[in-house]
Structure 1
Amino acid sequence: MKAYQVVFVLLLTAVTVDSQSFHSGKCPQPPVQEDFNITKYMGTWYEIEKLPAVFEGGKCNQATYTLLPDGTVKVYNAELLFDGKINSIEGVARVKNSSQPAILGVSFFKGVPDGPYWVLATDYESYALVYSCSTYFNLFHVDFAWMLARTRVLTNAVITQLHVELAEAGVNIKRLKASNQTGCDVMT
C-alpha cells in the first residue's frame, strides 16, 4: 500500500471511529447458514437493527435482491433521508465459493474490491442475519452486522434469538442500533 493510501485510511479511520465498529486483530470467522439457498433469499429485506455504518444515515433502510441470469445478484439498497429524499445505490453480489453459497462478495463501485456479505442465519420468510468484516494491515478489523426482516417489524423473541447468534459469532451486541422503520410509506 502506498503512503498516501495509508494516510487516507488512517484519516478515514479517525473521522469515522464513532460510527463504526473497530476491533484489534483479524476478523472472526463465524459459521454461516448451512445449505444456503440463494433463490429463496431473493426479494426485499428491511433493516431492523445494525452495527453503526458511516454509509447509512437515513431511516427506512431496505435492500432488494434479484437473481440475474448469470448467477450474480443485483443489490438495490435504499434509505429515506431526513430531508425526505430517497438515497439509493445499486451493486452486484457474487457467491465467492460454490461450496459456501452463504458467503458472498458485494461490489457497488467498479475497481473497488468486493465487500464481504456473510449470511449467518435466515429462515428466508421472516428474518436474516448478515455479517461483514474486513481486516486492515493485520492490525485491526471493522465489522458490520444487519438484522433483516421481510416486514418492517420483527418480534422480540426473534430479535433476542438473533442477538444470541450475533454474540456467539463474536459481535458486540451492545453496539447494535435499532433502525427506524416508521413513516416509510414513500418507500413503496
Structure 2
Amino acid sequence: MILARIVVCIFLIFSVNAQIPSFGRCPEYDAKPDFDKEKFLGTWFEVERYFTVTEIVSKCIKVIYERRPEMSKFISIIFLTFCSNNVETIISGKFSLIGKGGDGRFNVRYESFPLNYNASLVVLDTDYKNYAVVWSCSNITPFGHTESAWLLTRSITPSGNVLQAAYGVLDKYKINRSFFVKTDQSNCVVLPPPQEAVDTTTAAPIAKNEIAPEMIDNVTKVVVVDNTPIEEIKNETK
C-alpha cells in the first residue's frame, strides 16, 4: 500500500508538469523513415496539441525550424501569449537529430526556460508541405509514462483534407484524439515594442520626402540565442 501511494504521488507530480499521463511504459512508435531535415525547416503553425503546461493561456503558437551556418542546427519555438497588452513570449533552443538510420527523431534543448529543459521528439509522419505530427513520451516510473503530441501545419488555416491526413496518422498509432485541444490562431496581432521618448526640441528635423524610421518599420524583432542575433523580422509599410 505504501509503495502504491508513492507511485501515485510521483505519477501525479509529473503529470501536472506536462502531457497526458498513462500507466505502463512508453509505446514503441516508429519515426518517419528517411527524414529530410532540410524540407522540414521553416515555419509550422500549431493547430492542435495535447495539454502542455508551458502553453497554458497561450495562443497563436508557431514553431520555426532553421539552420544557420554559424550555429549548425537549432530550433526556435515562438509562443505568442496574448494578455491585456498583447505580449509575445519567445522560447528558443537547439535541436539535433538522434534517430537511427536517418529517421525523424531529434532531441531539443530549450535554453530560455528558467531552467534548461531537454526533450526527445518523434516526427511520426509529415509530407513537409502541409502537415506534421510530432509525438513525445517519457517514462516517469516503472509503472507510468506521460505523452505529448502536436499537430502542425504549414498554413494557419489548414484545409479539411490536410487535417484528415494528419488525423489518419494519429489513428494509425492509436493516439487518443479526445485529449487534443485546439490552438487559438485567431486575431494574431502583436503590438510593436514601445518606442523610447524623443526630445523634439533637440532631435534633428526630418527632411522633406523623408520618412521617420518608425514609419518604415512597424514591427522589428530580433531573437537572440547565445547572444547572437538569429532572426530579424521587418514588416514594411507599402
Residues in 2 aligned to 1:25 and 1:72: alpha-carbon distance in whole angstroms: 37
Matched, 1:181 2:174: no
For 1:39-92, what per-residue CA distance to the aligned partner results, in whole angstroms no more than 9, with x for missing partners?
111111100111111111200000001124488531111122231111111111
Residues in 2 aligned to 1:36 and 1:71: alpha-carbon distance in whole angstroms: 21
Residues in 2 aligned to 1:150 and 1:101: alpha-carbon distance in whole angstroms: 21
Query: Which of 95, 101, 104 is residue 102 of structure 1 equivalent to?
Result: 104
Superposition TM-score, scaled by structure 1 size: 0.84
Matched, 1:88 2:90: yes
Is the deviation greater in 33-42 or in 71-80? 71-80
Aligned to 1:25: 24
For 1:16-54, what per-residue CA distance to the aligned partner results, in whole angstroms no more than 9, with x for missing partners?
27x631111111122221211001111111001111111
Residues in 2 aligned to 1:99 and 1:124: alpha-carbon distance in whole angstroms: 19
Residues in 1 aligned to 2:10 and 2:121: alpha-carbon distance in whole angstroms: 21
- Give the 5 Å matches for 1:1-188: 12-13=13-14, 16=16, 20-57=19-56, 58-69=58-69, 72-83=72-83, 84-97=86-99, 99-109=101-111, 114-186=118-190
5+ residue gaps in structure 1? 1-5
Work out which structure has the larger RCO, using CA pairs closer than 8 Å and 6 or more positions apart in sequence: 1
In the comparison of the two structures, how many residue pairs are matched? 181
Deviation at 1:112, TM superposition (A): 5.2
Deviation at 1:93, TM superposition (A): 0.8
Which letter does structure 2 place at the counterpart of 1:12?
I
User: Identical aligned pairs, as a percentage?
Assistant: 26
Which letter does structure 2 place at the counterpart of 1:63?
V
Which letter does structure 2 place at the counterpart of 1:91?
G
Superposition TM-score, scaled by structure 2 size: 0.67
Which letter does structure 2 place at the counterpart of 1:74?
F
Is the deviation greater in 70-79 or in 84-93? 70-79
Residues in 2 aligned to 1:147 and 1:11: alpha-carbon distance in whole angstroms: 25
For 1:96-144, what per-residue CA distance to the aligned partner results, in whole angstroms no more than 9, with x for missing partners?
1351341001111498563111111111111111111111122211111
